Amino acid sequence: MRDRFWEHFALDQLEQDEWEALCDGCGRCCLVKLEDEDTGELHFTDVVCRYLDTQTCRCTSYATRLKVVPDCLQVSVDIAQRYDWLPASCAYRRLARGEQLPTWHPLLTGTRTSVVDAGISVRGKVISEALVPEDLLEERIVQWVR
């Protein structure tokens, strides 16, 4: 990886390992989201995709995720720039919109536990969608994800 690549290169100029290193592993993009039909506003819930390991915040079906979960996000520069599906804490979204990496990001702290310590990781805060009936999702909207 090039030294402090996120400060010197645009997202579409990154090498594969640099792109991957931007993901802080928070798991927030795997939260179930609800869209307000009238306003188009997006609401995050504390319900998470059934394929997310809620302890490690890793996808248990990474290789086949786009097949098994049709609305699973394949993060791209375009998505990071144009849509609100990624949380405001996400490095892809921040860099795509001209913002800095947050101070707790593993690329700055040197440890992935800083994401948990900063309260950004979903670890310990979520429940699997396998355990929540769809008609109760509205009751699970949370404000801690922006």
Site residues, ligand SF4 (CB under 6 A): 23-30, 49, 51-52, 59, 61, 65, 69, 72, 75, 86-87, 90-92
CB of 39 to ligand SF4, least distance (A): 23
Of 8 and 146, the one with the shorter C-beta distance to ligand SF4 is 146
Strands ordered across the beta sheet of 31-35: 31-35, 42-48, 127-128
Of 75 and 126, the one with the shorter C-beta distance to ligand SF4 is 75
Exposed/middle/buried for 69, CB within 10 Å: 0-12, 13-18, 19+? middle
Contacts of 144 by beta carbon, 8 Å cutoff, 6+ apart: 119, 125
Exposed/middle/buried for 145, CB within 10 Å: 0-12, 13-18, 19+? buried
> Which amino acid, 37?
E
Three-class SS of residue 11?
Answer: helix
Of 38 and 103, the one with the shorter C-beta distance to ligand SF4 is 103
CB of 91 to ligand SF4, least distance (A): 6
CB of 11 to ligand SF4, least distance (A): 12
Of 65 and 125, the one with the shorter C-beta distance to ligand SF4 is 65
Chain-centre distance of CA 52, in angstroms?
Answer: 12
CB of 37 to ligand SF4, least distance (A): 22
